[in-house]
């Protein structure tokens, strides 16, 4: 009996040995098939787990270990490449990924750090090309830092490095994609929107610095499972962030990096780390996570608003008027509105210049009404307390202008790889193009500074709105003295323009320099940012993306945001455009069914911590749209009482309330040159009460509430004071147009608010220590 058992064990052991040897022999050929479970490399810090294929280095999955959720999963095939290289040589471009290399190895000596190495690019015919990726988990956080180095280039140029690329992200109608496309936008079911695109690949991408104001995006579902992607680039290198629909039907995230072209470059290493991780929450949670890093950077310590370097008159602006045309069409209506409001009103002034809008730049001077009348009108408005911020595009020159040829402007223009200029026709009536100028070219910087010098000193305006400032271009002109193509020269040189203008200001005059959109990298250079997504429906309709105050959650105390397209009139028409295209009616009241759209835009501005604005204001609106103008004036007065929150406060998630919705009529009509279209009408449900919370520097909480509801709304809030860093007991105040009064008290760390907000009421609720 004993002998028989021993023989059986021997036979079984021989079978196991045979199977083991056999598996070892066939494993190398399983590259494109299913990889065995044990052929993984894993990083684990107790918060997240990253998995890579041991045979190829392909990305496999990311898991949130705290919530026990799979964030991304590509399958175990091992061919999901975490990077792509685009390499130029002799005029041809080639793409390489992990399957393009002969050898793969890795170093995994720590549970939270990994080095992946690929050697021998097959297309190069040598074994010197090497790609090294390092991935490190951050201690105690569900975040990882990724970096890449490419060696052995030998005269080949890296035009683009796609890294990291994380595939297998969920794609369902339950997913939300939040992107800081300037102020911020949110899209439900991004996969469906991507699938509808006709281009290949089907992807969304945004460039930074530029339309992407911050370096992050977030993908999450209603249950709060979230994917977080960012990078720790504090020097504003050019890059794209993208979301791609994969052939498998899942989504992928990728960052597209653009190394500057350098002759005889042998190696390239990403000068910053990509950040990949998970979170549990929504877009506010992701923004708060980014805020921990972003507010530690130099653009915050050097922020003009935070350092009290912005003009006092700009900070105290209670309301903006955005009108166009000669001074009678701009300054007189603003003075009228200031007298009605009783607080500072200033103007954003388009079409003051002598050239046609969107084709004649930069031939701004003299103004279209003449130098002397213009100066006299500016002085008159200043005497009446209204200051002017005039339009001057920072990066465009019309190539049909006389100055284009006379001043050899093409030498200073942005060039592509083929040394061709980059032009675009914005003006659909004249068909004349504007050409991108390079801020890295000293000649263009000097040109713009000289023009601004004349405008603020000779023509005595109070500042310049530098359109398209918070954008960047990649320029390949070798004569400009900057790195070619990618790099981080754009923001720094744009900053030289603002520094140059301020150096020319006479008599300690306080001028404001404003930029288009928002951008973290421009906060040390720009005094204010024109943010238009409050009115996104007005220029883009109601489908797809919706605006969110993503940027304000991160940087509100460091950046002054103002503006919207909010208007009660049809747009004007530039008198210098062709007469035959002029609409039959301009500056006529819109249908009253769109009045609530106007109120909604103003309520958003108030609760999103922005200086309010009205576009196309005429005094007739004070009677023909009295309720709407009165609402705007009330909103401006209440906001003015709470500047420590709504100008300088830090965003906090608002206490939960049950908010009713209502179907609104939405008008879509271009406010610029696209006047050949008629008003397009949409109907969509929107909240009729808007709220936000802001923490002040003296440890008080301000809760802004704005109603566009036709009924009384019961404001009911119940929250813990500790959630906002407030003391366990204190007082509750109500601030409205009538003043400030105490609503009640709270104790034992529990705050309860119950207040009947009147129809279309606007207020600020303060929580303060006793």
The answer to whether the peptide bond before residue 362 is cis (omega within 30 degrees of 0) is yes
C-beta separation of 406 from 337 below 8 A: no
C-beta separation of 569 from 628 below 8 A: no
C-beta separation of 406 from 399 below 8 A: no
pLDDT of amino acid 76: 58
pLDDT above 50 (res 392):
yes
Write out the two tokens for 181: 């496309």
In a domain? residue 743:
yes
pLDDT of amino acid 3: 38
In a domain? residue 215:
yes
Q: Which residues contact 6 (CB under 8 A, 6 or more apart)?
A: none
In a domain? residue 233:
yes
Band (pLDDT 50/70/90 cuts) for residue 24 is very low
Last residue of a domain, one of 242, 270, 294: 294
pLDDT of amino acid 676: 58
Q: Which residues pair with 105 in a beta bridge?
A: 117
| Half-sphere CA count of 762, side-chain side, radius 13 A | 24
In a domain? residue 410:
no
C-beta separation of 346 from 562 below 8 A: no
Encode 204-224 in three state secondary structure: EEEEECCCECCCEEEEEECCC
Classified as helix, coil or strand, 548 is coil
Last residue of a domain, one of 259, 294, 329: 294
Q: Which helix (H) or strand (E) holds 99?
A: none
Write out the two tokens for 712: 């009384």
Write out the two tokens for 321: 């008027």
Question: Burial of 511 by CB count in 10 Å (0-12 exposed, 13-18 middle, 19+ buried)?
Answer: buried
| Closest by Cα among 703, 678, 675, 701 to 689 | 703
pLDDT of amino acid 294: 98
Number of domains making up the chain: 3
Query: In the predicted model, what is the mean pLDDT of residues 405-424?
Result: 96
Higher pLDDT, 265 or 675: 265
Higher pLDDT, 405 or 769: 405
| Half-sphere CA count of 432, side-chain side, radius 13 A | 18
d(CA 262, CA 419): 16
Classified as helix, coil or strand, 699 is coil
4 and 131 share one domain: no
CATH number at residue 236: 2.70.98.90
Query: In the predicted model, what is the mean pLDDT of residues 353-371?
Result: 97
Q: From the DSSP assignment, how many helices (H) and strands (E) are in the chain?
A: 16, 44
Residue 120 CB neighbours (<10 A): 17
pTM, entire model: 0.93
pLDDT of amino acid 38: 67
Residue 526 CB neighbours (<10 A): 28
Q: What DSSP string describes 375-419?
A: HHHHHHHHHTT--EEEE--SSEEETTSHHHHHTTGGGGB-B-TTS
pLDDT of amino acid 39: 84
117 and 248 share one domain: yes
Q: Which of 30-39, 589-598, 606-615 is the least confident region?
A: 30-39
The per-residue pLDDT for range 305-345, each reduced to its tens digit, is 999 999 999 999 999 999 999 999 999 999 999 999 999 99
Q: What DSSP string describes 595-664?
A: HHHHHHHHHHHHHTT-B-EEES--TTHHHHTHHHHHHHHHHHHHHHHTHHHHTTPEEEPPPP----EEEE
The per-residue pLDDT for range 26-83, each reduced to its tens digit, is 333 333 333 445 689 999 999 999 999 999 999 999 999 999 999 999 975 657 999 9
pLDDT above 90 (res 127):
no
pLDDT above 50 (res 168):
yes
The per-residue pLDDT for range 87-123, each reduced to its tens digit, is 987 677 899 999 999 999 999 988 899 999 999 998 7
Question: How is the beta sheet containing 48-53 ordered, strand by strand?
Answer: 40-44, 48-53, 59-64, 69-73
pLDDT of amino acid 675: 52
Query: In the predicted model, what is the mean pLDDT of residues 558-575?
Result: 94
C-beta separation of 33 from 55 below 8 A: no
C-beta separation of 688 from 708 below 8 A: yes
pLDDT of amino acid 677: 61
pLDDT of amino acid 37: 52
The per-residue pLDDT for range 192-239, each reduced to its tens digit, is 999 999 988 999 999 999 999 999 999 999 999 999 999 999 999 999
| Closest by Cα among 422, 404, 427 to 357 | 427
pLDDT of amino acid 314: 98
582 and 673 share one domain: yes
90 and 143 share one domain: yes
* Residue range of the domain that includes 274: 31-294
The per-residue pLDDT for range 492-522, each reduced to its tens digit, is 999 999 999 999 999 889 999 999 999 999 9
Last residue of a domain, one of 246, 264, 294: 294
pLDDT above 50 (res 247):
yes
pLDDT above 90 (res 4):
no
**Mean pLDDT rounded to a whole number for the chain:** 92
pLDDT of amino acid 77: 60
pLDDT of amino acid 78: 59
Q: What are phi and psi of 623, to 5 degrees?
A: -110, -40
14 and 85 share one domain: no
| Closest by Cα among 216, 202, 208 to 244 | 202
C-beta separation of 642 from 610 below 8 A: no
24 and 122 share one domain: no
pLDDT of amino acid 508: 85
In a domain? residue 310:
no
pLDDT of amino acid 740: 97
| Closest by Cα among 541, 601, 594 to 569 | 594
103 and 21 share one domain: no
In a domain? residue 408:
no
pLDDT of amino acid 129: 92
In a domain? residue 643:
yes
Query: In the predicted model, what is the mean pLDDT of residues 528-554?
Result: 95
113 and 17 share one domain: no
pLDDT above 90 (res 299):
yes
50 and 76 share one domain: yes
pLDDT of amino acid 22: 36
78 and 155 share one domain: yes
Q: What DSSP string describes 136-163?
A: EEPTTSSEEEEEEEEE--TT-EEEEEEE
Higher pLDDT, 124 or 612: 612
CATH number at residue 562: 2.60.40.1180
Q: Which residues pair with 662 in a beta bridge?
A: 686
57 and 18 share one domain: no
In a domain? residue 169:
yes
Strands 388-391 and 463-466, bridge-based pairing: parallel
d(CA 348, CA 353): 13
Question: How is the beta sheet containing 512-516 ordered, strand by strand?
Answer: 561-562, 528-530, 512-516, 463-466, 388-391, 345-350, 319-324, 613-615
Band (pLDDT 50/70/90 cuts) for residue 543 is confident
128 and 16 share one domain: no
């Amino acid at each position: 009996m004993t002998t028989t058992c021993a023989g059986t064990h021997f036979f079984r052991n021989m079978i196991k040995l045979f199977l083991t040897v056999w598996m070892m022999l066939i494993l190398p050929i399983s590259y494109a098939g299913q990889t065995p479970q044990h052929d993984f490399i894993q990083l684990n810090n107790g918060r997240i787990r990253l998995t890579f294929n041991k045979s190829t280095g392909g990305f496999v999955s990311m898991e949130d270990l705290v919530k026990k959720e799979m964030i991304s999963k590509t399958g175990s095939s091992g061919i999901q490449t975490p990077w792509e290289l685009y390499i130029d040589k002799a005029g041809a471009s080639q793409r390489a990924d992990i399957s393009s290399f002969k050898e793969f190895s890795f170093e995994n000596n720590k549970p939270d750090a990994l080095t992946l190495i690929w050697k021998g690019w097959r297309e190069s015919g040598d074994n010197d090309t090497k790609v090294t990726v390092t991935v490190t988990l951050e201690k105690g956080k569900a975040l990882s830092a990724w970096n890449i180095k490419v060696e052995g280039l030998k005269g080949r140029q890296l035009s683009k490095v796609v890294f990291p690329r994380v595939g297998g992200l969920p794609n369902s109608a339950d997913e939300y994609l939040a992107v800081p496309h300037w102020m911020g936008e949110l899209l439900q079911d991004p996969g469906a929107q991507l699938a509808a695109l006709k281009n290949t690949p089907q992807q969304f991408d945004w460039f930074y610095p530029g339309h992407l104001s911050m370096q992050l995006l977030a993908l999450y579902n209603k249950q709060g499972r979230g994917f977080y992607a960012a990078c720790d680039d504090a020097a504003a290198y050019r890059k794209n962030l993208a979301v791609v629909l994969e052939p498998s039907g899942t989504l992928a995230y990728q960052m597209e990096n653009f190394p500057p072209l350098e002759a005889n470059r042998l190696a390239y290493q990403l000068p910053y780390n990509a950040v990949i991780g998970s979170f549990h929450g929504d877009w506010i949670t992701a923004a708060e996570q980014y805020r921990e890093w972003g507010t530690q950077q130099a653009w915050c310590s050097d922020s003009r608003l935070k350092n009290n370097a912005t003009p006092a008159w700009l900070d105290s602006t209670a309301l903006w008027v955005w009108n166009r045309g000669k001074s009678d069409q701009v300054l007189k209506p603003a003075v009228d509105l200031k007298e009605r409001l009783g607080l500072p009103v200033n103007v954003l002034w388009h079409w003051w210049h002598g050239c046609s809008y969107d084709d004649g730049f930069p031939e701004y001077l003299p103004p279209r009404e003449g130098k002397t009348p213009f100066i006299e009108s500016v002085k008159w408005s200043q005497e009446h307390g209204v200051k002017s911020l005039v339009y001057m595009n920072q990066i465009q020159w019309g190539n049909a202008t006389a100055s284009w040829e006379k001043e050899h402007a093409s030498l200073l223009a942005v060039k592509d790889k083929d040394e061709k200029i980059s032009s675009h026709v914005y003006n659909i009536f004249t068909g004349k193009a504007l050409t991108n100028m390079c801020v890295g070219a000293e000649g263009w910087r000097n040109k713009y500074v000289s023009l601004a010098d004349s405008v603020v000193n000779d023509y005595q305006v109070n500042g310049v709105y530098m359109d398209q400032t918070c954008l960047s271009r990649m320029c390949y002109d070798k004569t400009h003295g900057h790195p070619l193509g990618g790099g981080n020269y754009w923001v720094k040189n744009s900053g030289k323009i603002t520094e140059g203008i301020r150096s020319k200001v006479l008599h300690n005059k306080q001028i404001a320099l404003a930029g288009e959109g928002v951008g973290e990298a421009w906060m040390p250079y720009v005094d204010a940012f024109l943010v238009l997504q409050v009115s996104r429906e007005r220029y883009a309709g109601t489908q797809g993306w919706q605006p969110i105050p993503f940027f304000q959650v991160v940087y509100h105390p460091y950046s002054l945001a103002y503006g919207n397209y909010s208007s009660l009139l049809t747009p004007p028409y530039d008198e210098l455009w062709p007469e035959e295209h002029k609409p039959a009616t301009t500056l006529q009241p819109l249908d009253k069914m769109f009045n609530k759209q106007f109120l909604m835009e103003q309520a958003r501005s108030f609760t999103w911590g922005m200086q309010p604005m009205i576009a196309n204001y005429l005094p007739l609106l004070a009677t023909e749209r009295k309720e709407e103008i009165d609402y705007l004036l009330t909103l401006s007065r209440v906001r003015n009482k709470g500047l420590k929150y709504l100008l300088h406060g830090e965003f906090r998630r608002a206490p939960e309330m049950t908010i009713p919705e209502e179907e609104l009529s939405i008008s879509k009509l271009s406010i610029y040159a696209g006047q050949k279209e008629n008003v397009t009408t949409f109907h969509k449900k929107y909240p009729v009460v808007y709220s936000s919370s802001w923490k002040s520097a003296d440890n008080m909480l301000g809760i802004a509430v704005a109603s566009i509801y036709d009924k009384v709304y019961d404001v009911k809030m119940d929250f813990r004071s500790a959630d906002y860093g407030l003391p366990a007991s204190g007082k509750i105040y109500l601030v409205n147009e009538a003043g400030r009064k105490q609503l009640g008290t709270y104790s034992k760390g529990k705050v309860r608010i119950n207040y009947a907000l009147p129809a279309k009421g606007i207020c600020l609720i303060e929580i303060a220590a006793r």
